[in-house]
Amino acid sequence: MVPVMTGHTASGRTAALPAEGIYEPPHRARQRSDGTWTVDFQGRDGRSRLYSFEGLPLPGMHADLAEAFARRTSGHIDTASTLASANNLWQKLVRLLRFLDQLPRPPQDVSRLTASHLKRYRLHRRTTMKLRSTVIEMRDLFNLIGAVQPPERVRPDVHELRAETVPVDRADREGVPGYDEETFLKIWAAARRSAVSIAQRIRAGEDLLARYQQQPEDLSEKDRTTGQHLAEMARTGRVPPLMVPGTQTWDFRGRLELAGSLFLTLADLAPLVVLGVVATGCNGETVKELRAAHRIVGGRAVVVDAIKRRRGSEKWFEEVTWDIGKDSERLRTAGGYYLFVERLTRRARQFSHAERIWSVWVNGYKNGKADTARHIDPFAASLGRGIDLNDWAQAQPELAAIKGFELNLNRLKTTSDQRYTRETGSHLPSSTRTNTQDVLFANYLKDDPLVQEWAAGVVSEAIADAEETARAVHRRALAGHEGQIRVVPGPVEQARADLDGTARRTGLPVVTVQEVLDGRKDTAFMSCTDDRSGPFNDGPCSTSFLNCFFCRNAISTQAHLPDQLALLDELAALWERMDKDRWWRLFGQAWLAINEDILPKFTPQERAEAERIKPAGTVLSLLEGPAEELWD
C-alpha cells in the first residue's frame, strides 16, 4: 500500500507535513529489461496485482497507456482504487488495444489515436451492449486517455470527443426490479434454514470433539475415529486425507464432510452471504468485507467497521452499530447475524489468519496431491470469487419451484431497501440504513417500477445537487477534527460506569466526560465541551445551535436523541413547504449529521425509546438565528 501521512489538527497544532520536501508517490509503471511495461497496483481494499502489457498488440502505445493506467488506479478520489475496479478498467484497455489492432491502419502510438478510431470502437461495442454500459465504458476509456501526460500527446479531436460524451446519468438506464414480497420471503426463509443447518452441523462436530476429549472410551469405534480426526483438526487446522474404503482412491466427499464438522466450506458461503444482505441491509460487497474485529456494547449491540464502497472513496470506512436482538431473533437482526457468522468461523480464523470475518476450508486435491488443502479468506484476493448462488437456490424446494427464478444479490438488496423505505412511509431521507440518500435512490430504488409509483418526485436533479452540496460542506466542516462528530454510543449509565474508557474513546479529559454525561455541558441538541474557544467567533460562542452539528467541541450521547428526533420531525415538516434548495442550505448539515453520523451509532431499541419520549411541539424556537445560510 502507498504510505499515507496522517495527523490531526486542532487549535495551536499545525498540520502534519512530509519530513523532506514534497511527497512523491512511488512510480508504479515500469519497463522491464525485455521492454515489457508493467503497472504495480496496490488497492485501497488491501488487494494488489501486477498488470503486464506483455503479449498485447500495438507496443508503441504501451508506455503512454501504462503511465496513464497507473495514474487512473492511484487510489485517489475518482480513480479505480480497488482491485475489482482496476481489473474492470484493465479489461476495457485490453479490449480497445485488440480492436485497434484489427483495423486496416491501426494507430502505432497514442499521438496517432484519432476520434474516428474511438467512434468506431464505440459503434462496435454498442452492437453487443446497452447504451448505458457503452457510455460507462467510453467514459472510463476517455478518462484513461485523458491521463496521458503531457496532454499534448493526445490529439485535440480526441479531447473534443471526450467533452462531448453523454454523461452516464443521462444515458438510458434499464433497472432491474426487486423481488415480489412472496419471493423475497421465500429467499429469506431458505437462507435462514440453510444457516441453521450449517450451525447444527458444526455444533454436532464440536460436541463430538468435546466428548472425545473428555471420555473417549464412551464412544463407538466409528465416533472415536472421527473424534481423533477432529482433535487433530482443532489442534493443527489440517483435515486428514481420506481414502475410499477398500480402494486406493482419494475420498474427496468424505474429506470435505469431515472438514465441515468444524469449519465452513465454500458451499456454505452462498446462503450465509444471502442472509447477510437481508439481515444487514448492506450490499453483497459490504457483507463480504466485514471485519472480524468488533466490540459488544452492553450485551445489546455489536460495533464493527464496515466498508461501503458505493458511498465514494472518501467515506469507505464507517463504524456501524448493529442491534443483536433476542436469541430467537439472531438470524433476523444485523448484529445477531454478524455474531452468528463470527462464531462459525472463529476456529478457522486461527489458521487462515483472516482479518475479515470469513474463513473457509478448501479441498486441495490437485493433480493427485492431497497436501494443498488449506484455510483461506475466500474474499481476500477478490470479492468476485465464485459463489454458486443459483446452484444453492435450485437446491431449495420453494425457490426451485419458481419458474425462471434467478438469485441476484443486487435485486435482493433492492428489495430489502424497498421494504424498509415503505416501512418508513416512503420518506427517502428517513429510509437510509446502510447508504446515503443519493446512493440508496440511484443504485437501488430509482429503477424499480414498484418504487417509482410512490417515490416519484421525491428526488429530482435539483434536490440531489443541493443535497450533494450540503454533504460536501458538511464533510469539509468535519475534516478539521478527524472527519466525524463525537458520539458516545450506548446507554449513558454504561458510559458513566466506564469513565476512563469513554474518555479514551472520545479523546476528552475524564472530568469533561463526567460533566457531559451528567448533562452539565448540554446545549439545545448536543453537549459543548468548550464554549469559549469555538471556531465561529472569539469569546463565548454566540452562533446558532445548528452549527453544533459540525463543531469540533460538540459531543452527542443517548440523552440527546429525543431532542434530535424532534428536530428531525420539524425539519421534515419544513421540507414539505419550503424551497428544497433553500432547505438544504439552511438545515442540510444538521439533517445529515443526525441521520448519517449520530443515529447509526445507536441500536433500533435505543432509537425507539428516544422516539417514545421525544418532546412535542417545535424546537427550532430554541435556536439563535435559525434561518442563517450555511454557505453561499
Q: Comparing 258 with 580, which gets the higher pLDDT?
A: 258
Is 273 within a domain?
Answer: no
At residue 469, the pLDDT reads 55
Half-sphere exposure in the Cβ direction for 404 (13 Å, CA): 1
Q: Cα separation of 322 and 335, whole Å? A: 5
- Copy the grid coordinates of residue 242: 481420506
- Copy the grid coordinates of residue 317: 470506512
Cis peptide bond upstream of 600, omega within 30: no
Q: Cα separation of 320 and 300, whole Å? A: 14
> What is the model's pTM?
0.54
Is 242 within a domain?
Answer: no
Neighbouring residues of 297: CB distance < 8 A, sequence distance ≥ 6: 303, 321, 489, 490, 494
The vertex-203 CA angle with 198 and 204, nearest 5°, equals: 100
76 pLDDT higher than 70: no
Of 285, 312, 306, residue with least CA distance to 475: 312
Is 62 within a domain?
Answer: yes
Last residue of a domain, one of 141, 170, 199: 170
Of 237, 235, 209, residue with least CA distance to 223: 209
Q: Given strand 301-307, what is the order of strands in its sheet?
A: 294-297, 301-307, 317-323
Q: Does residue 432 contact residue 421 with C-beta atoms inside 8 Å? A: no
Is 593 within a domain?
Answer: yes
Q: Comparing 373 with 437, which gets the higher pLDDT?
A: 373
What is the tens place of the pLDDT at every residue in 213-227? 999 999 999 999 999
At residue 348, the pLDDT reads 95
**Local confidence band at 207 (pLDDT 50, 70, 90 cut-offs):** very high
Q: Cα separation of 342 and 312, whole Å? A: 27
428 pLDDT higher than 60: no
Pairing of strands 486-487, 554-556: parallel
438 pLDDT higher than 70: no
Q: Comparing 548 with 206, which gets the higher pLDDT?
A: 206
**Local confidence band at 442 (pLDDT 50, 70, 90 cut-offs):** very low
The vertex-234 CA angle with 229 and 237, nearest 5°, equals: 90
The vertex-435 CA angle with 434 and 436, nearest 5°, equals: 140
Section 312-327 average pLDDT: 68
Last residue of a domain, one of 137, 170, 203: 170
Section 324-344 average pLDDT: 86
| Phi-psi group of 604: left, alpha or beta (phi > 0 → left; psi -120 to 50 → alpha; rest → beta) | alpha
207-216, 360-369, 466-475: range with highest mean pLDDT:
207-216
6 pLDDT higher than 70: no
What is the tens place of the pLDDT at every residue in 387-420? 889 999 999 999 999 988 999 898 898 888 777 6
Q: Does residue 483 contact residue 475 with C-beta atoms inside 8 Å? A: yes
What is the tens place of the pLDDT at every residue in 476-496? 656 555 556 788 888 888 888
Q: Which domain holds residue 42?
A: 29-170
Last residue of a domain, one of 140, 170, 200: 170
Is 536 within a domain?
Answer: yes
Section 107-128 average pLDDT: 88
**Local confidence band at 201 (pLDDT 50, 70, 90 cut-offs):** very high
Q: Cα separation of 399 and 415, whole Å? A: 16
Q: Does residue 423 contact residue 393 with C-beta atoms inside 8 Å? A: no
At residue 83, the pLDDT reads 84
Mean pLDDT, rounded, of the chain: 78
Angle between helical axes of 181-214 and 334-352 (0-180°, round to 10) = 50
What is the tens place of the pLDDT at every residue in 265-318? 999 999 999 999 999 888 888 899 899 999 888 788 888 887 765 444 444 567
SS3 content of the chain, % helix, strand, coil (to 5): 55, 10, 40
Q: Comparing 622 with 154, which gets the higher pLDDT?
A: 154
581 pLDDT higher than 70: no
The DSSP code for 105 is S
At residue 471, the pLDDT reads 59
The DSSP code for 302 is E
Q: Does residue 323 contact residue 332 with C-beta atoms inside 8 Å? A: no
13 pLDDT higher than 60: no
Query: Which of 433-447, 526-540, 555-569 shows the lowest per-residue confidence on average (mean pLDDT)?
Result: 433-447
Is 414 within a domain?
Answer: no
560 pLDDT higher than 70: yes
Is 293 within a domain?
Answer: no
**Local confidence band at 598 (pLDDT 50, 70, 90 cut-offs):** confident
- The number of folded domains in the chain is 2
Q: Cα separation of 340 and 214, whole Å? A: 26
Half-sphere exposure in the Cβ direction for 289 (13 Å, CA): 21
Q: What are phi and psi of 308, to 5 degrees?
A: -125, 85
Is 241 within a domain?
Answer: no
Q: Does residue 75 contact residue 85 with C-beta atoms inside 8 Å? A: no
Q: Cα separation of 220 and 207, whole Å? A: 14
386 pLDDT higher than 70: no
